Amino acid sequence: MSMNARWTWSARPAVASLGAGWRRVAVTVRQDPEQLLRDQAAHDVIVASQLDHGAKAGHWRLVRSLDMLGVQRDGRCELWGWGPMEVSVEGLVSVEGLLAEFERHLRVERDLSPHTVRAYLGDVGSLIGHLEDAGAGLAGLDIGMLREWLGDQHGAGKSRATLARRAACARVFTAFCHRRGWLADDPGLLLGSPKGGRSLPVVLDQEEARAALNVPAPDDPKGLRDQAVLEVLYATGIRVSELCGLDVDDVDRDRRTLRVLGKGRKERVVPFGLPALRALDAWCIRGRPLLIREGTGPALFLGTRGGRLDQTTVRRIVHTRLTETGTTDLSPHGLRHTAATHLLEGGADLRSVQEILGHASLGTTQIYTHVSIDRLHTAYRQAHPRA
């Protein structure tokens, strides 16, 4: 079957079969007919057929669309051609169109974060490349093809965590295609996930944290902002994306809490201490007003041009301060790990730490108990004479 685009999917016809001779017939295709016209230079539709009595397959040509409906809704098209067969019209879609639809599904229907959407689109792009290398279309995406793709990833040296994420992405993608009617079955249901190996996060000890934070901040907008960013990250353990998303009204000074919008748009309230409060007051009173420009919104932390502070700048703030103080160089997420570890070391229970960090699963939080125990063993071996 020759086609002008790389991907196809089938839809049930409006009639079950056609007789011999030239005929016109209205069929239902699961694609915007206008897109079908754009994707085919010659406006040809090749009809996959189950032959009756050994007759040759017919050739059908798109005449016109009867209803101009949107993508993912049934559209009526009129074809003419010849051939005794059961009709299964295949609409055409480009790889770019497929990825665009999947991106819309992730962003709008599943409400995933931009970072997750980018990662999933990259994974699906890799899977599509594997299918093209194998000479298969979307209909050829089965459990064997999925396992072969993951096997290639493993052979390329991808980590178990990456393989687990790509397996999860593949399941989301095949379920999406199955619900759209592009796959007859969902092969992702048969796909297992490799267990991701979990290494202990690198964290600052309490002396290193104090050394990094007890640096006198320059009394200018940038210095006051950077100090407030560092204090809030360490005091609350929030993610860098959550910090950048904070608005002024999210700070409750009286209760010393932040209203944080986390993953999956789940809102939680996170407490913070007096040092973070003092740093926030200094920033909001003496720093932030000097960076406000026309069009500046309600963002708590601002960049030098008056817009919302971006994640890259936050990473640079953390890296610069830790380098200057000679402590272990970490990312903002490293400060999140550090805050959680110090909470547990100070006697906080695991459930409270889970709620502060916004973890959906307690198992995710338990990694910090291993960090604390590991540090306890290290201190024991260094201090006990019979260790």
- 105, 130, 234, 368: the catalytic one is 368
At 379 the pLDDT is 63
Q: Annotated catalytic, 255? A: no
- 61, 263, 315, 375: the catalytic one is 263
- 105, 165, 171, 336: the catalytic one is 336
CA distance 229 to 300: 10
CATH number of 96-190: 1.10.150.130
Q: Which residues contact 130 (CB under 8 A, 6 or more apart)?
A: 145, 148, 149, 152
Least confident of 90-94, 98-102, 259-263, 380-384: 90-94
Mean pLDDT of 109-120: 88
Amino acid at 22: W
CATH number of 206-382: 1.10.443.10
Q: Taking the domains of the chain in order of start, what are their residue ranges?
A: 7-93, 96-190, 206-382
Mean pLDDT, the chain, integer? 76
Banded model confidence at residue 221, pLDDT cuts 50, 70, 90: very high
Q: What is the pLDDT of residues 32-88, one digit of tens each?
A: 444 444 444 333 333 333 323 333 344 444 444 433 323 333 344 444 444 433 334
Q: Annotated catalytic, 53? A: no
CA distance 258 to 246: 8
Q: Annotated catalytic, 253? A: no
Extract the tokens encoding 253: 């000074």
Q: What are the percentages of helix, strand and coil residues in the chain, rounded to 5?
A: 50, 15, 35
Least confident of 32-36, 47-51, 331-335, 341-345: 47-51
- 130, 166, 225, 359: the catalytic one is 359
Write down the pTM of the prediction: 0.63
Q: Annotated catalytic, 368? A: yes
At 373 the pLDDT is 65
Higher pLDDT among residues 246 and 347, named by residue: 246
At 364 the pLDDT is 80
Give percent of the chain with pLDDT exceeding 70. 70
Q: Which of 85-89, 202-206, 209-213, 264-268 has the highest mean pLDDT?
A: 209-213
Q: Annotated catalytic, 105? A: no
- 76, 315, 333, 375: the catalytic one is 333
Least confident of 8-12, 270-274, 317-321: 8-12
CA distance 290 to 341: 36
pLDDT over threshold 70, residue 8 = no
Q: Annotated catalytic, 293? A: no
At 196 the pLDDT is 58
At 380 the pLDDT is 60
Q: What is the dihedral of CA 86, 91, 92, 93, to 10 degrees?
A: -140
Higher pLDDT among residues 207 and 90, named by residue: 207
At 266 the pLDDT is 87
CB atoms within 10 A of CB 101: 17
Helix (H, G, I), strand (E, B), or coil: what is residue 361? Answer: coil
- 165, 239, 321, 337: the catalytic one is 239
